[in-house]
Each structure stands twice: as C-alpha cells, then as structure tokens.
Amino acid sequence: MSIKPLTRVAARRRGVQGPSRSLWWPVVRKLFATLQEVPIAALSALSVMAGAAMVHRYCVLIGYGPEASVSISFGAAVALVVLLGLVSLGILLQAPAWMPPLYELPRLGFKEAVVTQSVAFLSLFVWAIATSTPSAWEWIVGLAIALVVLAGVLVSLVRAKGAGWRRAGLGVLAAGMGCAPALGALIVILKLGVFDPEVPAWGFWLATLAVLGLIIVINALPGLGKNAAFVSAALVVVGLVVIGVAGRSGFIAKSAATAVGLRIDGESQLRVNRAACLTLLSAVPVRKGDSPFKLADEAAGAGCREYGNAVTARVDLRGGGRWVLQVHSINGWDAEPAAPRVSVADSAVELVLRPMPDVAAPPSGSARHP
C-alpha cells in the first residue's frame, strides 16, 4: 500500500523534530539538575530519625515520658524545621563555591577563593558601617585600606592566570556574587535572635567573625584538590565533637524543642480553670502571706476562681494533650523555689501572648485634629 505524499512529509517532520525546548534559563536548569542529585527521601528519613532522637533526649532531660506518637510527630517537626532547615542553610552558605561551576566557569583555587570572599564580605561590611554609623570614620578608613590591599592581591592573582585571566575574572565575579546570599542568610539568623541579649558586644562580633571565617574556609576547600577531602573530614570530626559536647548539656535538644514549640523559653503567663488551679495548688507549695500555704490548709480551695486563674510558669513541654509546667506563682502567690513540676490537661490551660504592635495606627504626635 502506497503512502500519500502529505503523510510521508508529516512522518519525516516528526522524525527530525527534537525534544521540546525548556522554558527555564540554562543556569536554573543546572541548579535543578544539581538539586536532583540530593537524596531527598533518604535525607528526610534520617532527619526524622534524628529529630525523634532529639525529642526523646529532651523528654529524658525533663523527666517526662510522652506517648510514642508525640516523639514521632515532634521528631518530624524537628526534622522539617531544624534539620532540613540547616541543610538548606548549608547549601545557601556554600553559594560562593557552587556559583562559578553553575555558570560553567573554572573553579577558584584555595588562595583565590579566600581572597575573593574576603574582599566581598569586607566591602559589604564597609558599606554597612558607612551607611549606619558614618561617624566611625576610623573603622571605615581602616577597613577601606584593608579592602584596597586585598583587591590588589586579587587582581594580581587573576592576572597571573595568563591567557585565561578573563575566565578567571568571571569566576571571581561569580564567587563574589555568591557571598551576598551567604551573608544575607547570616544576617537573618542573627536578627532572629540566636544570641542572647546579655551577650557583650565584643563576644557578639567575635562570634560573627568566627562564623564568617568558617564560611570562607569551607567555600575555599574545593580549591585544595585532593587535600580537600582530608580537611573536610577533619572539620566534620571537629563539628561532631562540638555537637556531642553541647548535646550532653542538653543545649541542642532544648533549642530544637523550642524551635518547634514543644518548649517555651522564659516565663509564660497562663490562665487555667478551677480544676487545674486546684491540681496545681495540691502539688506546688506556695506562700500565702508569710507562711507556706497548701490546699490541705483550706479544703475548699478558696484561692481558686471558676475561670481565669493567673499562673506564671516555665513551659517545659506542651504536646500529647498535656502541659508540663514549672510553676512560679498562682494567683499572685509565689511558689517555693524547689517546687516540683506538674502536668495539666491541655484543655485547661490558655496561653497569654504579648500584644502585637499596631503598625497601622499612626503615631500619637502625628494625629490630626480638626
């Protein structure tokens, strides 16, 4: 059976037609291809296991054994909020290292990477200080001189590449661009209040410079070639030792529990019903006047109202339908310093939140009067 000419032309066109063209930019396609190499399923499973271990460790610290479903559910929350967040943050902080290969530019050597990141971070610091505190001219001048010196060193390193200086310069530019999201992520973390307000200013800036130095070293490791694996392994071992030391004190478990709302830092204002108030008074010794007072002294529990009993406490756990409280006061009566912790039903407790600032309301001095 003969094929019609139009049919043959259509078949020929279908045969030579290539794959459909992607609507993404080449750089975005390469980024997606890189992210496809991340084993998301295995990483999520390991993160949930590590999160459940953190929740169990925290429950052991406070001496409370919740249901298994609580550990698993909050472990998944820890994995989502903390662990996967840290993985994403690590990818973002390594932007100076993966930006040049993303544009098919040569990877920088160790010295070039260190100097490039130092120039980028230092220029951003000079700009930030000049715009926020222009009166600190001695800091601005000193940092500007250091910036000029480092920039001169970077130019000499690029020119030493000979005929390939142009591509080397583009690689330096790409790595410098990657410093912006890394520094932006660091600033966001600091703004979220990682550091305690009572930490002195010199300690805050010293920690910031130490973190920046660590970021620079990590992003420069690929330039070491074969030695990068050894140095990376040494850094991982040091990191695990630090995590182990901090984990023994419960700092990591408490921070993870606070991040997912399992625990509330500081003192919280609560309102409880009469049944919960009677439960607290039966277990927590409080001072009514000058002498210790317990519920057994007043069988009717005259200090408890039907609703809205004011309680100040530290919330050690809220999950699985229970709240574990370290009570500080009940209806104005101070609890004994060595008072035991008490668990009450979730339905009996209301958390009093601090007021949100009303950004829509105009300042009092700008109000217009007829």
pLDDT at 370: 38
* 278 pLDDT above the threshold of 80: yes
Instruction: Indicate if the pLDDT at residue 215 is higher than 70.
Output: yes
Q: Does 16 have pLDDT greater than 70?
A: no
Q: What is the mean pLDDT of residues 25-41?
A: 74
| Mean pLDDT of the chain, nearest integer | 75
Q: Are residues 156 and 115 in contact, defined by beta-carbon separation less than 8 angstroms?
A: no
Residues 75-88 have a mean pLDDT of: 74
The predicted pLDDT at position 360 comes to 45
Beta pairing partners, 204: none
Residue pair 332/308 in contact by the 8 Å Cβ criterion: no
pLDDT above 80 (res 363): no
Residue with tokens 């699985």: 320
Do 169 and 158 meet the contact criterion of CB atoms below 8 Å apart?
A: yes
- The pLDDT of 179-200, averaged and rounded, is 69
The predicted structure's pLDDT at residue 362: 52
Provide, rounded to the nearest whole percent, the portion of the chain with pLDDT above 70. 76
pLDDT at position 321 = 80
Predicted structure pTM score: 0.56
Closest to 161 measured CA to CA, from 119, 120, 106:
106
CA dihedral over 60, 66, 72, 77, signed as positive or negative: negative
Residue 131 has pLDDT above 80, yes or no: no
Indicate the SS3 state at residue 222: helix
151-180 residue pLDDT tens: 888 888 888 877 778 887 888 888 888 888
Range with lowest mean pLDDT among 89-98, 117-126, 252-261, 286-295: 286-295
Share of the chain above pLDDT 90, in %: 2
Vertex 181 angle, CA 175 and 183, to 5°:
95
Highest mean pLDDT among 28-42, 72-86, 164-178, 189-203: 164-178
Q: What is the pLDDT of residue 114?
A: 85
Q: Looking at residue 218, what is its pLDDT?
A: 81
Task: Give the pLDDT band (50/70/90) at residue 288.
Answer: low
Do 273 and 279 meet the contact criterion of CB atoms below 8 Å apart? no
Which has the higher per-residue pLDDT, 361 or 103? 103
pLDDT at 299 exceeding the cut of 50: no
Q: Considering all CA atoms of the chain, what is the largest pairwise distance in Å, rounded to the nearest integer?
A: 111
- Is the pLDDT at 296 greater than 70? The verdict is no
92 vs 240: which has the higher pLDDT: 92
